[in-house]
A = this chain, B = another copy of it.
Amino acid sequence: MPKPASAVKKAGQQRGVRGSRTGRPIMVLLDLLGRRWSLRILWELRGGPLTSRALRAACDEASPTVLQARLSELREADFIELLPAGGYGLTALGKELNETFLPLHRFAEGWSKR
């Protein structure tokens, strides 16, 4: 019989990294990037800044709720920033992170022919 099962969890981690309690940087990063739309957002910004609405359009009209949540998280992680002129753009760190994923594109092309 499934017990309440919560009431305990609130203590341990609340403001945290969700799926990772170790705190190891790579885990924190994998967890952050493992949230829905995170990778996609970074990817869509690779060509230059986009307004929040353009970004939403680029992301298949994902709901603004999650998008804003991700944008906040990614901003807090210093991967993207809200430009003074409007629109979101990659920070230097974000660009560096994005380059990490460049080989992924090539990989994806080959993988799709599996």
Contact surface of A with B, Cβ cutoff 8 Å:
19-22, 25-31, 33-40, 43, 59-60, 62, 77-78, 93, 96-97, 100-101, 103-105, 107-109, 111-112, 114
Partner of A107, one of B19, B34, B39, B100: B100
Residues of B within 8 A of A78 (CB): 114
Number of copies of this protein chain within its complex: 2
Q: Is the CB of A39 within 8 A of B43?
A: no
Asked whether, in the complex, the Cβ of A107 is within 8 Å of the Cβ of B96, the reply is: yes
Distance in angstroms between the alpha carbons of A108 and B96 in the assembled complex: 11
Interface of A is mostly: helix
List, sorted by A's number, 9 A–B pairs whose CB atoms are closer than 8 Å: A19-B37, A26-B43, A26-B105, A27-B40, A34-B38, A93-B114, A100-B101, A100-B103, A100-B104
Instruction: Tell me which of A27, A37, A39, A97 has the highest count of chain B C-beta atoms within 10 A of its own C-beta.
Output: A39
CA distance A27 to B41 in the complex (A): 11
